[in-house]
Each structure stands twice: as structure tokens, then as C-alpha cells.
Amino acid sequence: MARLFGTDGIRGVANAEPLTTELAFRLGRQLVATLLEHHGLSKARLVVGRDTRLSGPMLEGALVSGALSAGADVFTVGVLPTPGIAYLTRALDAQGGVVLSASHNPFEDNGIKIFSSEGSKFPDSWESEIEARLNGRDVAPKPTGKHVGRLVHYDRAEADYIAHARQTFPFDLAGLTVILDCAHGATYRVAPKLFRALGAQVAVHGARPNGLNINMRSGALHAERLTARMRTGGADIGLAFDGDGDRLIALDETGEVRDGDYVLAICGRHLAAHRRLKTGVVITTVMANLGLEKALGQAGIRTIKTQVGDRYVLEEMIKTGANLGGEQSGHLLFLDHTTTGDGIVSALQLLAVLRETGQPLSALSKCLTKFPQILINVKVREKPPLESIPGLAERQASFEREMASAGRILLRYSGTENLARVMVEYEDGDRVQAIAADLSQLIKAAIGA
């Protein structure tokens, strides 16, 4: 059996192999068995939530049924941002948390992501153990009578999560006009409630989920959709979240998109200036623009880069003791306030800098000058080692010699989709497009879908 768990849980087309209700049921049982063994308990507690996908209730029902049949008490919280489930896993003293979501993927996909009792990434070794259990004989508990698991519909989930997010922000937003784009996803209720409670004047887009429109031409993946609205004037900031709410892309008052690199530069420099940046380091990934490293370096801040994936950023942050890290894509980690990427909390930390400095986002963004960069996604039918594609390594090496130290090329596969990603960054903006197109066409000719 192929490995189920990827870089962000299990993902696939909902109701197709492997992401079926049968798998979800069995996973619920084996998850409980794993938690009981590692926590040394006779009873486990789970928190389970989801995003707005049509398939969410179907998979949730199966997984919850499996967990109940193994004797776990399950707190269901309904539609809630992924970081909300991480927070409630800790707050409710649960041994694990489960999110039914495929984050930024299209609506027909779904996924199962598991949090540990600390509200952080589930240990890799425990995932491997669950996979081994799924491939073997089912020896998970099968209690009867009063020992069957209890289902609790936890209706305080939204209020608890909003209160948690609010306590990370010691200001109000009176006099500020904010436009939110919730991607028709998991933030569609909590984000407007929170920002209005803080006193902001709030306009909302992407807050009418119908099960089919999550991430569709909206949210963090399509933040440019807010640009026209911002440029009509009157708004101080735009905040776009992705489908499960763990990602933020901001827009300044002029309508310019300010991605995760800008947020890391602004918040990193601000925290360092106030001696609140632990270890003087910001953790990011190889996708970060070269301009970010320069902007942080000018403020005496060291940058450490990991492979792509917020889980790798988090691992390095824990290893180094850093309290700020994230990705250009908008996955941002403020470990003083949360244990995982949280779009809403990230937005509040950015707004805190605006409040403390009294400057608009456009002015704060001047600390970062980006190198011209382009990212092309090539749909592929298979994922052989990129170095095995005839001529690709030689072509890349030729372009890298041309760019010398003034640019770079990064070729990799997506961890969650059948895509090859071609990223080119170069101080000569006129050449960036041509180089990226050349490499993309070579990959497409060899393995394009």
C-alpha cells in the first residue's frame, strides 16, 4: 500500500481511493488506538472540525463513527479554521485533533490532518504507526455498553477561538476600514465577527460557501481579486485567507498585494527593534524572495531557509528557539501566540505593527525590495526525479551560469498536487519570464498531463 500521509496529512479526491469513507472510518479507529497506547490511557478525547467542502460532513461522519466505535469521546466543532481546531485540541485537553480539509486545493479534493495534544504537527512516527495498523489486523478497542465513545457537539467552538485570537492583539481597530476575503472557506463566520468586535469597519467578500466554491477565484490564492476593490479607495487594508484559514495574504491601502515575505520582513524588523525577536532569527523556506534575506539582514536579523512546507519551518523554529517564521505563500507562524499557521492571528500581528507605528502598510512595505520572480505550475502525469528528465539539468545549469549570484532557479514537485513548480528569480526582470517559460516547456514536453 502506498504511503497515505504526505507533508500535510492525507489528501486526495473525496470519495475516491484512497480518501473514502471506509478509510476515514478505519483511520478513526486506528488513530484512537495509537493515542491510547502513546498516552497510556484507557479513554481518549478527540476534537474534529472541517472546512466548507461538500464532502466534509461525509468524511467527518465516517471518521467520527470510527473513533466512537473505538471508545473515544469526540468533540465536533463544525466549520472552523484549521488553527481553531489546533487551539481547541489544547484547550479541551484532547489527545488529538482532526481537520477535514484540503486547504488551498479545489473543492472536489479533501484531506485529513491530525494534530497532537499540543495542537502542533502529529509526530511522523505516529503517522507511520497508524499506517501500519491500517495495513494489519484491526486490534483497536471495540467497547460496548457505557464504554462506547460519547459524541459532543461543542457549540462554543467559534466563541472560544475568537476569544483566543482576540487576546493576541492588545489594541482595537476603531477608525480602520478592513476588507476581508474568506475564500468561501472556514473563516467565513469567525473573521468578520472578530474584526467587527475589535471596532473595525468591515466589508466581506468570499463569505457565501455553497460546498462547491471554496477557494474559487477568491481568497489568498487569488488575492488580486481584492485589488480593484481596494483601489476604489476608502479601505486601509485587505486581508485574504485561504480555504482552511491557516494562510494570509495582505493588500495595502493602494491595492498592492503584500505576501508572506512582506509580513515576515515587517514583523521581523519590528520585533527585533523592540527586542522581541527570539534568537534574532527568522525561519523561512527556499521559496522566499532574495529580497527578504536582504531586508532582514539590514536589520541584523539572520535568515534560515528550510525546504518548502510550514511543517519544516515549524521544526526549524522549535530547534532554534525562533518565534517568527513562515512562507511566501502566507503560512506564517507566530509561536508566541499559536502553535500552527493561523491566518487570522497573523493578520492581527501585522495590524499590531500598523497600530504601534502609526504607519500604513504601504509605508511599512518599503523595507523590502523584491527581486523579480516568477512561478509557473506545470501539470504533470507522473513525478519522476526531475534530474531524470532529459536535458533539464543541463539547461538549468546554463541559466544559472548566466545569472551567477544575481538570481536562482528552484525546480520541485508540489507535495499535494500533480504539479511541477518552476520558480525563477533574477535581478534582470526581462529575462525571468523567458527562462521560466523555457524550463516549463521542457518539463511539459517530457511529463506534461
Kindly list the catalytic residues.
103
Distances (CA, A) of 44 to 5, 98, 120: 22, 13, 17
| CA atoms of 101 and 243, how far apart (whole Å) | 8
Which residues have a Cβ under 8 Å from the Cβ of 19 and sit 6 or more positions away?
10, 11, 12, 13, 59, 110, 111, 112
* Residue count of the chain: 449
| CA atoms of 28 and 48, how far apart (whole Å) | 11
For 374, counting Cβ atoms within 10 Å of its Cβ (0-12 exposed, 13-18 middle, 19+ buried), the class is middle
| CA atoms of 94 and 74, how far apart (whole Å) | 9
Q: Please choose, from the candidates 154, 143, 138, 136, the residue with its C-alpha nearest in 3D space to the C-alpha of residue 46.
A: 154
What three-state secondary structure class fits 417?
A: coil
Beta strands in 214-280 (DSSP E): 237-241, 248-251, 257-258
**CA atoms 294, 296, 302, 307: torsion sign:** negative
- Count the Cβ atoms, other than its own, within 10 Å of residue 363: 13
Do 432 and 426 form a contact (C-beta atoms < 8 A)? yes
Do 312 and 306 form a contact (C-beta atoms < 8 A)? yes
Side chain identity, residue 328 = Q
Q: Please choose, from the candidates 329, 179, 318, 172, the residue with its C-alpha nearest in 3D space to the C-alpha of residue 264.
A: 329
Q: In sequence order, what are the beta bridge partners of 374? A: 424
Q: What is the DSSP string of 156-199?
A: THHHHHHHHHHTT--S--TT-EEEEE-TTSTTTTHHHHHHHHTT
For 150, counting Cβ atoms within 10 Å of its Cβ (0-12 exposed, 13-18 middle, 19+ buried), the class is middle
Half-sphere exposure of 281 (CA within 13 A, CB side): 15
- Tell which phi-psi region holds residue 227, choosing left (phi > 0), alpha (psi between -120 and 50) or beta: alpha
Task: Cis check for the bond before 18: say yes or no (omega within 30 of 0).
Answer: yes
Side chain identity, residue 413 = Y
Side chain identity, residue 77 = V
